[in-house]
């Protein structure tokens, strides 16, 4: 399964200022698979260790940070020679080792010639519970579920993916029917690798849904394992409320929708836990379309989206046929799925800031303000080909220096003040300018 993140790993390998690498991302998004595939393709050897419940490595870093001793131990455990530049060391489930993340500092300082990459479940949680990544001593790559373009490649539609990335709008328009057909399948299957494999192997919607439910069960287990009993209840309440929150007309997260009388202070930590686990995407309200958008965020008003449309469909128990066909009874929920899809695609881009806009009296709302470099794009999201853009039209009249975007099922068109981009091209439209590579912690 080809992942665009492999390009980031290649850049990391060839970077003369390379540091130990942390691959971040929610459980089940394919971190381990990517590292092993990358190692087998670009190195002579891969020294892989799964640190979960592995007595051989329990005390690997407990005695000291003697890098020579540690490298010798890794070689003995894996039966792989550790050769700088030719061996990729992969420590999986690194959070299970005491001082595992701290040890990366010593690899950076004392053995910078070694290529070491680590991954693990809930590393974001681990970093906020006592053991943090050594600042300035590691590189980080964030991984997400497969995007729509990656999904096309996974199911054997390489040429369609290439055309989409070329932004040859004439050719894309000719293939519109197929792009929409596969997009509806993607809405249901989503981008979790295991669900995609099940779809490819069986073409059975119920088998795919069972796979998704199994992943949701793993997430619930993680919540119980890695949070206090009191906090688990709140995390689950927030998690289960997301489908109904997105079904609201303006989709703003309302604490009172979790339970009557709920307050922010009760659930702030639960929401942060879900963000740190990589399970939700938080989009804050922006008060102005000015650079940088983060200066104008209203942190008290926000929306939460799931990391993946397939997971959203499973969590909401949406019948598969309702997503796989155009004529369905989802009505208002269709907009929620479409928005979640767009947010999950754009969240994979580097160096972008995403907010939404609403004025103080909430009479005007823009689905998304996206800062890409020095550009700010007001974006309206439409589930089908309904091209009425009253809010976007009004907003651009008030801010004529901006160019609007509308994501819909309609074909690409440039109307000077606004461009319509097909929903299935929302990621690739920004891809070239934001596909730079490894992010270092400085």
Q: How far apart are CA 119 and CA 170, in angstroms?
A: 41
Per-residue pLDDT band for 331 (boundaries 50, 70, 90) equals low
Q: How far apart are CA 433 and CA 373, in angstroms?
A: 8
Strand, helix or coil at 83? coil
138, β-bridge pairs? none
Average predicted confidence (pLDDT) for the chain: 92
Q: Are the C-beta atoms of 185 and 208 separated by less than 8 Å?
A: no
Q: Residue 145: which of 349, 435, 344, 425 has the closest Cα?
A: 344
92, β-bridge pairs? 50
Residue 102's Cβ-count burial label (10 Å; 0-12, 13-18, 19+) is middle
Q: Are the C-beta atoms of 154 and 146 separated by less than 8 Å?
A: yes
In degrees rounded to 5, what are phi and psi of residue 142? -95, 135
Report whether pLDDT(97) > 80.
Answer: yes
Per-residue pLDDT band for 435 (boundaries 50, 70, 90) equals very low
Please state the pTM of the whole predicted model.
Answer: 0.93
In degrees rounded to 5, what are phi and psi of residue 211? -60, -45
Q: How far apart are CA 250 and CA 295, in angstroms?
A: 23
What would the pLDDT profile of 373-401 be if each residue is shown by its tens digit? 999 999 999 998 877 778 999 999 999 99
Residue 373's Cβ-count burial label (10 Å; 0-12, 13-18, 19+) is exposed
Measured N-to-C along each axis, helices 205-226 and 176-189 cross at an angle, to the nearest 10 degrees, of 40
Give Cα 183 to chain centroid, integer Å: 18
- CA contacts within 13 A on the Cβ side of 360: 0
Report whether pLDDT(246) > 90.
Answer: yes
What would the pLDDT profile of 398-432 be if each residue is shown by its tens digit? 999 999 999 999 999 999 999 999 999 999 999 75
CB atoms within 10 A of CB 384: 14
Q: Are the C-beta atoms of 88 and 43 separated by less than 8 Å?
A: yes
Q: Residue 298: which of 381, 242, 356, 247 has the closest Cα?
A: 356
Q: How far apart are CA 124 and CA 26, in angstroms?
A: 9
Set out the domains of the chain in order of their start, with CATH numbers.
Answer: 5-142 (3.40.50.300), 148-437 (no CATH)
- Residue 241's contacts (CB-CB under 8 Å, 6 or more residues apart) are 257, 258
For the chain, percent of residues with pLDDT exceeding 90: 81
Q: Residue 104: which of 75, 143, 61 has the closest Cα?
A: 61
Q: Residue 278: which of 23, 66, 73, 15 has the closest Cα?
A: 23
Q: Are the C-beta atoms of 143 and 25 separated by less than 8 Å?
A: yes
82, β-bridge pairs? none
């Amino acid at each position: 399964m080809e992942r665009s993140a492999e390009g980031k790993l290649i850049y990391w390998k060839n970077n003369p200022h390379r540091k130990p690498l942390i691959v971040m991302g929610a459980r089940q998004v394919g971190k381990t698979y990517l590292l092993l595939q990358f190692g087998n393709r670009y190195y002579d050897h891969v020294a892989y260790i799964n640190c979960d419940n592995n007595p051989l490595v329990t005390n690997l870093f407990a005695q000291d940070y003697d890098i020579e001793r540690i490298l010798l131990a890794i070689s003995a455990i894996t039966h792989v020679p550790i050769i700088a530049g030719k061996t990729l060391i992969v420590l999986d489930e690194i959070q299970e080792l005491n001082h595992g993340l701290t040890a990366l500092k010593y690899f950076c300082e004392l053995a910078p010639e070694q290529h070491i990459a680590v991954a693990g479940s809930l590393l974001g949680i681990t970093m906020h519970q006592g053991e943090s990544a050594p600042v300035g001593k590691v590189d980080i790559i964030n991984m997400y579920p497969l995007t729509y373009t990656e999904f096309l490649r996974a199911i054997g539609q390489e040429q369609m993916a290439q055309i989409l990335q070329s932004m040859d709008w004439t050719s894309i328009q000719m293939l519109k029917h197929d792009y929409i057909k596969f997009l509806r399948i993607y809405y249901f299957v989503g981008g979790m690798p295991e669900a995609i494999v099940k779809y490819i192997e069986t073409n059975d919607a119920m088998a795919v849904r069972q796979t998704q439910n199994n992943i949701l069960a793993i997430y619930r287990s993680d919540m119980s394992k890695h949070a206090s009993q009191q906090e688990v209840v709140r995390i689950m309440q927030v998690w289960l409320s997301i489908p109904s929150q997105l079904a609201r007309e303006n989709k703003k997260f309302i604490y009172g929708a979790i339970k009557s009388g709920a307050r922010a202070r009760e659930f702030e930590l639960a929401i942060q836990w879900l963000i740190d686990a990589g399970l939700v995407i938080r989009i804050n309200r922006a008060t102005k379309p000015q650079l940088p958008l983060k200066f104008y965020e209203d942190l008290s008003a926000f929306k939460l989206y799931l990391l993946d449309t397939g997971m959203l469909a499973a969590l909401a128990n949406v019948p598969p046929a309702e997503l796989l066909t155009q004529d369905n009874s989802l009505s208002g929920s269709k907009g929620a799925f479409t928005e979640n899809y767009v947010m999950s695609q754009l969240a994979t881009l580097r160096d972008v800031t995403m907010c939404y806009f609403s004025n103080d009296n909430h009479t005007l709302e823009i689905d998304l303000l996206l800062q890409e470099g020095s550009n700010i794009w007001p974006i309206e999201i439409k589930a089908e080909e309904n091209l009425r853009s009253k809010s976007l039209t009004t907003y651009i009249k008030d801010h004529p220096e901006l160019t609007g975007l509308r994501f819909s099922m309609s074909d690409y068109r440039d109307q000077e003040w606004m461009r319509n981009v097909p929903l299935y091209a929302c990621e690739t439209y920004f891809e070239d300018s934001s596909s730079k590579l490894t992010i270092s912690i400085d």
